[in-house]
Structure 1
Amino acid sequence: MVLEKSVRFLDTTLRDGEQTPGVSLTSDEKVMIAKKLDAIGVDIIEAGSAITSEGERDAIRAVVGEDLSAEICSYCRIRKEDIDAAISCDVDSIHLVAPLSDLHIEKKLKKDREWVRETSVECIQYALDHGLIVEYSAEDGSRADVDYVESMFRDALDAGAQRVCLCDTVGILVPEKTRELFSRLSGVGPVSVHCHDDYGLGTSNTVAAVLGGASEVHVTVNGIGERAGNTPLEEVALVLSNLYGYDIGLKTSELYSLSRLVARLTGVPVAPNKAVVGGNAFTHEAGIHVHGLLADTSTYEPIRPETVGRKRRIVLGKHAGRASVLLALKELGLNVNDEQLNEIMGRIKEIGDRGKKVTDADFQAIAESVLNLTSKAWVKLEELTVVSGTVMPTASIRLKVDGEEKLAAGTGTGPVDAAINALRNALSGLSDVQLDEYHVDAISGGTDALVDVWVKMSKDKHVMTARGAHSDIIMASVEAVLQAINRLKERDAKEGQ
C-alpha cells in the first residue's frame, strides 16, 4: 500500500479539550487559542458544540468572525436541531457524530442499527443542503462491529459526506489493531482518527492509524480532554514529522508558546516530564549529560529545542558536574579559579543533598558570596497588607523600586493571588514577566509550619527560578517572586536593556 506522506490536523482543544473537568473558556479565550492554532497551520478547528448554549454559540461566532485560514467546525449529534445551531453560527463544517457500537446504540440511544443508518444519512443530506462540509464520525467505533462501521462509512460518503472518522472513544485500541483497522477503512475513503488516552496509547494509536492510511488526525493541545485526555497535538506532530518524515504543514516552532497559552487559559498545568512541551523536556542536570551536550547536543537531545520554540536549560543540583557549573557561571559573566569552583560546587551539592531544588537565584547568591560580590536589589518590599475571609481577597503593597516608593492594591481569587496582583500593579513594565510555575512545600509540621515557596518566572528569553521561606505563605510567595524579578532585572541590566 502506498501511503501519502502528508496528514491534516483537526484540533478539538476548544470542544473535546474544554470538556476537561473544571475547564470553561470564555469567548475571548477561545478566540485567542483559535488564532494561535490558525497561525501554526492547523487545518480544522473544532470551535465547540453549537447546541450547548447561547454562550457557546456566541463563542463559535466570534471564532468564525476572525476570518481564519483554518476550516471552522462545530460538533453535532445526529439531530437536526444540532445542525441548525451550527448553521446559525456560520461554521464551515460539522463533525457529525453517531454512536456505532451496539453498546451505545442500545443502551444510550435505545434504538437499533437501521435507525442510526437512516438518521445519519438524513442528517448528512440536511447539512449538505445548507452548504456545510460534513465529517461523519463513528463514536465508540473501536468497540463496534467493523463490518457495520465500514458499511456506515460507505453510506455516509455516498450520501455526500466529505470524510469519515473512527473514534476510539474510551481509548481501548492498541497500535497493531489500529493499523490493521485503518488499513481496511482507508480503502473506503478519506478517514480520520480520534483517540483518547485512557491507557496512555493516544499518540501511538494515532500514529498507527496514519501508517494504516488515515489522512487526518484529531488532537488537543497538551492532550487535554475528559478523563485521561485526548491525543496531544505536539506529540503527534513531532513523531510524524521527525520520525516518519510526514509533511504535517505545521509551524512547530510555535508549539511551546501554544502549549503555554492553553495551559494558562484553561488552568490545566503541563506535567514537567511531558514530552515536547514539559518543563523538563530540554532541561539537563546530570554532569555526564551536560558534558556530552557541550561536545555535541545530539548526544542527549533527540529533538532540537528550537524546533518547538524551546531553549536548552542547565539546572544545578547534587548531580551537577564541573561542566554544568562552569556553563552556568559563564552565562552570568563570572570567572572563577579552581578553588572557587570547588567551593561553589560543594554548596550546590549541599542544598541538593537536603532534598531541595537549587534555584537560579540560589546559584547566583552562592556564586556572589564565594566571589565576594554584592547584588543590588532593584525592588524592595516595605509593607504588605492582605485582607481575606468572607470578602474578596484584597492586598495593598508598598515597594521601593530603584529607590522610588510605589503604592498599589490588587484583588484575587485568594490572598496569595491578591498579593501577587498588587505586586504586579505596583511595578510598571512587569506585564512581560510571566509566572510560569508555583509550588508550595511545608518544611516543618504544625500550624506554624515554615513554608517553602518555589517559583519559575520568565521574561523574554530568560527563565528564573527562586524561592521564599516564611511561616506566612503570602510573605513566602511575595519573597520568591521579588527575588526572581530582581534577578531578571539584573540580567537585563547586564545586557544593556
Structure 2
Amino acid sequence: TVVTNLCVLQDYYNVDVSHIKTQYFYQLSKFISEIIEHPVPLTAPVIGQNAFAESFGIHVEGVLKDQKTYFIIPPALVGQKQSIVLGQTTGPEAVAEFLAENGYGFLEVDYTREQLQELTLEIQSYCIENKRISETETKLLVEHYFQKEPLQSKIVLDDFEIKATTNNFKVKISLIMDNGQRKQGEGEDSELISAIVNTLKNILGFESMTCE
C-alpha cells in the first residue's frame, strides 16, 4: 500500500516510483499465495479479491458515476478491476450494471424501471435467504425472471479447483442444483479423472459412479 499511495501522491511527495510495475501486484500476490498455500484475505487492501468491490446501494451509485468517489487508488494501477457485488443491500443501479455487462440489455430499452426494481427485490430476497449469491446464481435468477418460466431442471458448475501434489490430485467442486441450492464437495485420487468423479460422488451422494 505504501508504493501505491506514493504512485497516487507522487507529485505531493515529489517521489518518482514509475519504475515499479504496480500493475502486476495482484497477479504476483496470487502467485505467491499459491506457492505458500496461504490464501489472500478477500478484503485485503489493494490485493484482496474484494478490495475494489462495492455492494451497498448508495456506494455503487457513487462508484458508477465517479470511481474516485470511494477508490483513491485506481484498480487498474495494481492489476485489479472494479467490481459490483450483488447482495442484501444491492440497489437498482448495481443490478442494471450487471445486466448490461452480461448481455441482458439496458434500462428503458430492454426492460422497464419497474422490472428492474422487481428483479432487485428478488436478488435481495435471495441473498437474505442464502447469505450470498454467485454470478451463476444471479444469471439463473435473471433468466428465470425475464422468461417467467420455472427454472430448468439442470445442474450448473459454480466453481472448480484442482491442486496437484506429489502423489495425487485434490479437487474442489461447487454446483448449483436445479432448486438453486449450492452444494460443495472435495475428493482426491492419484488420477485426475478419478479425483473429479470422487468429488461428484461426494456432492451428489452416488454410491457408484463411472466416467466413460
TM-score category (smaller protein): 0.5 to 0.7
Alpha-carbon shift at residue 350 of structure 1 (Å): 1.1
Q: Is the 8 A contact 2:156 2:175 kept in 1?
A: no
Matches of residues 295-374 of structure 1 in structure 2 within 5 Å? 295-335=65-105, 336-354=111-129, 356-372=131-147
Q: Is the 8 A contact 1:285 1:324 kept in 2?
A: yes
Q: Distance in 2 between matches of 1:324 and 1:369?
A: 19
Alpha-carbon shift at residue 345 of structure 1 (Å): 1.3
Q: Distance in 2 between matches of 1:264 and 1:279?
A: 14
Deviation string, structure 1 residues 353-387 (Cα, Å, up to 9, x no partner) = 2351111111101100001188898988xxxxxxx
Alpha-carbon shift at residue 256 of structure 1 (Å): 0.8
TM-score (structure 2 length as normaliser): 0.68
Deviation string, structure 1 residues 179-217 (Cα, Å, up to 9, x no partner) = xxxxxxxxxxxxxxxxxxxxxxxxxxxxxxxxxxxxxxx
The answer for the alignment partner of 2:209 in structure 1 is: none
Q: Distance in 1 between matches of 2:68 and 2:115?
A: 31
Counterpart of 1:278, as a letter, is G
TM-score (structure 1 length as normaliser): 0.31
Deviation string, structure 1 residues 204-238 (Cα, Å, up to 9, x no partner) = xxxxxxxxxxxxxxxxxxxxxxxxxxxxxxx2211
Q: Is the 8 A contact 2:155 2:175 kept in 1?
A: no
Q: Size of the alignment, in residue pairs? A: 170
Which of the residues 36, 42, 47 maps onto 1:266?
A: 36
Q: 1:236 to 1:350 in 2, by over 3 A?
A: same
Q: 1:419 to 1:260 in 2, by over 3 A?
A: closer
Q: Is the 8 A contact 2:63 2:70 kept in 1?
A: yes
Q: Distance in 2 between matches of 1:250 and 1:357?
A: 37
Q: Helix, strand or coil for the counterpart of 2:182?
A: strand
Root-mean-square deviation over aligned CA pairs: 3.5
Q: 1:477 to 1:364 in 2, by over 3 A?
A: farther
Counterpart of 1:349, as a letter, is Q
- 2:45 is the counterpart of 1:275: yes
The answer for the alignment partner of 1:30 in structure 2 is: none
Q: Distance in 2 between matches of 1:322 and 1:476?
A: 39
Q: 1:257 to 1:245 in 2, by over 3 A?
A: farther
Q: Distance in 2 between matches of 1:419 and 1:296?
A: 38
Q: Helix, strand or coil for the counterpart of 1:371?
A: helix
- Bigger relative CO (Cα 8 Å, ≥ 6 apart): 2
Q: 1:306 to 1:419 in 2, by over 3 A?
A: closer
The answer for the alignment partner of 1:236 in structure 2 is: 2
Counterpart of 2:183, as a letter, is A
Alpha-carbon shift at residue 334 of structure 1 (Å): 1.2
Q: Is the 8 A contact 1:287 1:319 kept in 2?
A: yes
Q: Distance in 2 between matches of 1:454 and 1:367?
A: 18
Q: Is the 8 A contact 1:419 1:478 kept in 2?
A: no
Q: Distance in 2 between matches of 1:258 and 1:292?
A: 30
Q: 1:357 to 1:418 in 2, by over 3 A?
A: closer
Q: Distance in 2 between matches of 1:302 and 1:277?
A: 14
Deviation string, structure 1 residues 447-494 (Cα, Å, up to 9, x no partner) = xxxxxx599xxxxxxxxxx97326x65449978xxxxxxxxxxxxxxx
Where structure 1 has 5 or more consecutive residues not aligned to the other structure, the ranges are 1-234, 381-392, 394-409, 421-452, 456-465, 480-497
Q: Is the 8 A contact 1:253 1:307 kept in 2?
A: yes
Q: Distance in 2 between matches of 1:247 and 1:358?
A: 42
Q: Distance in 2 between matches of 1:310 and 1:284?
A: 14
Alpha-carbon shift at residue 262 of structure 1 (Å): 0.6
Where structure 2 has 5 or more consecutive residues not aligned to the other structure, the ranges are 106-110, 158-164, 187-198, 205-212
Q: 1:338 to 1:467 in 2, by over 3 A?
A: same
Q: Distance in 2 between matches of 1:241 and 1:256?
A: 16
Deviation string, structure 1 residues 297-353 (Cα, Å, up to 9, x no partner) = 111111111111111111101110010000001111113223432332122111222
Q: Is the 8 A contact 1:259 1:277 kept in 2?
A: yes
Deviation string, structure 1 residues 403-434 (Cα, Å, up to 9, x no partner) = xxxxxxx942xxxx2476xxxxxxxxxxxxxx
Q: 1:242 to 1:377 in 2, by over 3 A?
A: same
Q: Is the 8 A contact 2:183 2:203 kept in 1?
A: no
Q: Distance in 1 between matches of 2:67 and 2:20?
A: 24
Deviation string, structure 1 residues 241-286 (Cα, Å, up to 9, x no partner) = 3233522321111111111111111111111111110111111101
